[in-house]
Amino acid sequence: MVLPNLGVYPHVTANTPLPGSASDDGTRFVLIHTSHPGNVGAAARAMKVMGFSDLVLVAPRFADVLSQEEAVAMASGAADILVRARIVATLPEALGGITQACATAMTPRDFGPPTFAPREHLPALAAGVAQAGQRVAFVFGSERFGMRNEDVWRCHACLSIPTHPDYGSLNLAQAVQLIAYDWRMALGGHSVAARTPEPVLADGAEVAGALAHWQQVLEAIEFLDPAAPKRLMPRLQQLLNRAQLTREEVHILRGIARAVGKRG
């Protein structure tokens, strides 16, 4: 693999925030010696959908990888992650400000930090973030060679994603997505309910208006005899009360009533 001239990289260390950078969530994703711009963009997208923003590249093959068309296209809405990303020459620079670094490797190493499946290790790591303000980095090796031993040795733990024994090779961005998801879940996850607005229940006046509308229509189509209404409308009132209608549902019922009335 051909590495670029390290002198072309901006003089920025990984723990130096850039102007306008995203709020610091204490999590960093580090990609070492990446070869393909598309993988960088896809990794940025994987980070963003899980709510992470701090991306650092160590000596990528192309010095302009963050602005290459393929990277921006594969980021697909996460171009802001690429804009804020930093490029450094060495892994120690990328780990500036980090207190817990997790290497990623397909197979355990004979020597070095202990190896865990992500879901085995990440909950305890998340507890350290909550209790002691740990800052965590997840470190990924190159697409062709993975992580070198000396890079793994700089980390506190090694994460190995359980894969099928006959084919364990993961695309770089896929690996980032899996780790980002498990890490987000260990941190407490994103609440689906928080993204879904609570429906607004219809009040008594709105329900009464819908009932009055339906009464007119039922009389027009001669389903309800106003001379002998019996208990039809009170029964419909009880039905709607049990249904706990939302305002949108009341609008639907009144729309149906208008349509029936036109045909009547």
Question: What does the domain layout of the chain look like in residue ranges?
Answer: 6-192, 204-263
Integer Cα distance of 175 and 184 in angstroms: 14
Residue 56: what are its φ and ψ, rounded to 5°? Answer: -130, 130
What's the average model confidence in pLDDT over 101-126? 85
Q: What is the pLDDT of residues 167-209, one digit of tens each?
A: 877 899 999 999 999 999 999 887 665 566 778 888 889 999 9
**Confidence check: pLDDT of 221 > 80:** yes
Q: What is the architecture of the domain spanning 204-263? A: Orthogonal Bundle (1.10)
- In this prediction, residue 52 has a pLDDT band, given cuts at 50, 70 and 90, of very high
**Confidence check: pLDDT of 109 > 80:** no
**Confidence check: pLDDT of 22 > 60:** no
Residue 196 exposure: Cα atoms within 13 Å on the Cβ side: 5
The predicted structure's pLDDT at residue 81:
95
The predicted structure's pLDDT at residue 14:
43
- In this prediction, residue 45 has a pLDDT band, given cuts at 50, 70 and 90, of very high
Tell me whether domains 6-192 and 204-263 share a fold: no
The DSSP bridge partners found for residue 32 are 58
Short-list 144, 32, 29, 15, CA closest to 78: 29
Q: Which fold has domain 6-192?
A: Alpha/beta knot (3.40.1280)
- Residue written as tokens 């990623």? 104
Residues in the chain: 264
Short-list 144, 115, 107, 171, CA closest to 32: 144
**Confidence check: pLDDT of 212 > 70:** yes
Which segments of 30-117 does DSSP mark as H helices, in order?
Answer: 37-49, 69-75, 79-84, 91-94
Short-list 187, 176, 181, CA closest to 85: 176
High-pLDDT (> 90) share of the chain, %: 57
The predicted structure's pLDDT at residue 1:
33
**Confidence check: pLDDT of 71 > 80:** yes
The predicted structure's pLDDT at residue 108:
62
Residue 247: what are its φ and ψ, rounded to 5°? Answer: -60, -40
The angle formed by the CA atoms of residues 88, 93 and 96, to the nearest 5 degrees, is 130
- In this prediction, residue 146 has a pLDDT band, given cuts at 50, 70 and 90, of confident
**Confidence check: pLDDT of 51 > 80:** yes
High-pLDDT (> 70) share of the chain, %: 86
Q: Is 178 helix (H, G, I), strand (E, B) or coil?
A: helix
What's the average model confidence in pLDDT over 60-69? 93
Integer Cα distance of 27 and 158 in angstroms: 16
The predicted structure's pLDDT at residue 161:
87
In terms of average pLDDT, the best of 12-21, 80-89, 100-109, 111-120 is 80-89
The predicted structure's pLDDT at residue 28:
97
The predicted structure's pLDDT at residue 261:
83
Sign of CA dihedral 73, 74, 78, 82: negative
Angular region, 117: left φ>0, alpha ψ -120 to 50, beta rest? beta
Integer Cα distance of 136 and 50 in angstroms: 15
